[in-house]
Structures are given as structure tokens and as C-alpha cells.
Amino acid sequence: MYAVAGVSGRTGAATANALLKQGQKVRVLVRNEAQAEPWRSKHVEIATVDLTDSAGLATALKGTNGAYLLLPPNPTATDYLADRAAFLEKMIAGVKKSGIKNILFLSSIGAQHPAGTGPVVALHRAEKALSGLLPSVTFLRPGYILENWAASLLPALETSELPFFGSVHVKFPQVGTHDVGLAAANALVENFHGTRHLELGGKENWSVEDVAVVLTSLLGQQIKPVSLPVESAREGLEKMGMNPSMAALYAEMYQGLARGLLAFAHPHGFLRGNTPLFESLKPLV
């Protein structure tokens, strides 16, 4: 049996579903009954737990062959990195108490860098804290999650534009959650010993321009990719409603992307998914 956190989000749900398709038993970790409801018909065990409740997490993980864990975002935090560090400390205490031997942690492209990548820095620090913690530790570093474009769909319909802080022509690693879930499930069930990093890209690298072309087809409306100056990211994000602290971090992330920091540590040795761009974006529409 494998425990999976984050099943109310896309990557956790994709991982749990991939494990079920492989015939594995799954215990989903949810925060409340509302999050549990979609899973009741899927023949899984359900554990209601807060990942920062060390004792509760230890109980939820106990007896499993491994666990899929992540650092959920907290966009309201005034000090995001400190907030996520406190969350991680409590989660690690629960992992230690549980006695499990195998975890897969969802990290990110660019997590090899200690600075200059905005919110990804929290994942770099998480990797450092989790490395060697258990006999088997896998860090999955996917590229930009394609489903994140969902937040841009309604504005795109209203303005016919897809804005991006940086070049819309440069192709970079992006990957859909179906491929993330499959890679996570496969890595969890492997009999691996040690600490490793698995980097995951999509079927090919895509640009914002490529995304706009597919969205044009799916929406039946011309969507034009618009390149915005990276230097304007902080101000632009604040105008969109993001709090100043988070806007500064995400502005740093865009700058890191422009500087080449949001790239794989091993650019010729990463895994690739099989899902075409059209198929990854279609469910969003």
C-alpha cells in the first residue's frame, strides 16, 4: 500500500490514479471530508490528516510501502520561505515517527539552485532536509506544470491575449500532471535504495507561443502570446492581486527563468512524458 498526499490537487490525484491503475493499494491523505468525497468510490483507504500534525501523519503513513509527499503552496504567506520551512519541519517529524522506508517528494525544475528561483528555493531547502532521511528518497523534479495555464484561460477569453513575463518564443520544459503522476507512481514502486533526483519534461519542449496555438484551437478564438518585460513582473503580479511578498518571489522566478536557472541539472539525462501538448491542455478547457 502507498500513501498519497495532495490528492485534492492535480499531481497528487494523478499519482494516486496511476498507482490504482497499476493494481496497487492506495491510502489517500486528505485534510477534511470534502476532499475525501471524490475518492470514496475508488476503493482506497482514506486518512484525514493535516501534514503538519506530526503524530497524525505518522499514523497515516504507518504500514505503507512508501509515500508521495509535497510542499503545498501557501500564497497568503507574508514570508513564504519561512512559512514553508516551518511546515516542512513538522512534516519531517511525522515521517520520522512513521517508520516508513520510502518517500517520493515532488520538487521542481531548478531546485538544484540555492537562490534566484523564487518559490522554488523552498523546494531546494526541502531536498536538503530530506536527503538521506530514509533508505529510499526520490525527488521528482518536473518542468513547468502545464495545468498552471488554467489560471490564464478566462483572461485569455476576455482579452484574446496570453501574457508572459519573458520571451514567448523560447521553448522550455513543460509537462502535464498525467505524466507527473505516472512517473511518481513508477518511481515509488521501484525497489530503489539511496537518494536520487529524477527530472521530468514533457514529450518535447514547448514555448508560450506553442501553448497559445493550442489554446486558439481549443477555445475557437485567436489567442495571441504577449511578451512582457521580466523587469515588470513584480508590479504586474501585484496588479493581478498577488500579495507583495509572493509577487517578489514570483518575479524572481521569472528572472531566474530568463537567466537559465529554471532548467534541469542534467539537460541530457531527464525523463520525458508521452502526452502531447493538446491532450494536456484539453481538460482545462
For 21, half-sphere exposure in the C-beta direction (CA atoms, 13 angstrom radius) is 11
Q: What is the model's pLDDT at position 197?
A: 97
Give percent above pLDDT 90 in the chain: 95
Indicate if the pLDDT at residue 177 is higher than 90: yes
Give the residue-averaged pLDDT of 257-279: 93
Give the residue-averaged pLDDT of 206-211: 97
Dihedral angle at the C-alpha atoms of 277, 173, 142, 40, nearest 10 degrees? Answer: -20
CATH of domain 2-144+174-201+263-273: 3.40.50.720
Grid coordinates in use for 273?
512524458
For 235: left if phi > 0, alpha if psi spans -120 to 50, otherwise beta; the answer is alpha
Separation of alpha carbons 245 and 10, rounded Å: 25
Indicate if the pLDDT at residue 240 is higher than 90: no
Q: Mean pLDDT, the chain, as a whole number?
A: 96
pLDDT tens readout for residues 19-36: 999 999 999 999 998 999
pLDDT tens readout for residues 211-228: 999 999 999 999 999 999
Confidence of residue 99 (pLDDT cuts 50, 70, 90): very high
Per-residue CA distances from 138 to 50, 76, 127, 134, 150 (Å): 22, 29, 9, 10, 28
Q: What is the model's pLDDT at position 268?
A: 84
Q: What is the model's pLDDT at position 267?
A: 85
Secondary structure of residue 174 in the 3-state scheme: strand
Domain layout of the chain by residue ranges: 2-144+174-201+263-273
Confidence of residue 181 (pLDDT cuts 50, 70, 90): very high
Q: What is the model's pLDDT at position 52?
A: 96
Indicate if the pLDDT at residue 194 is higher than 90: yes
Grid coordinates in use for 151?
489560471
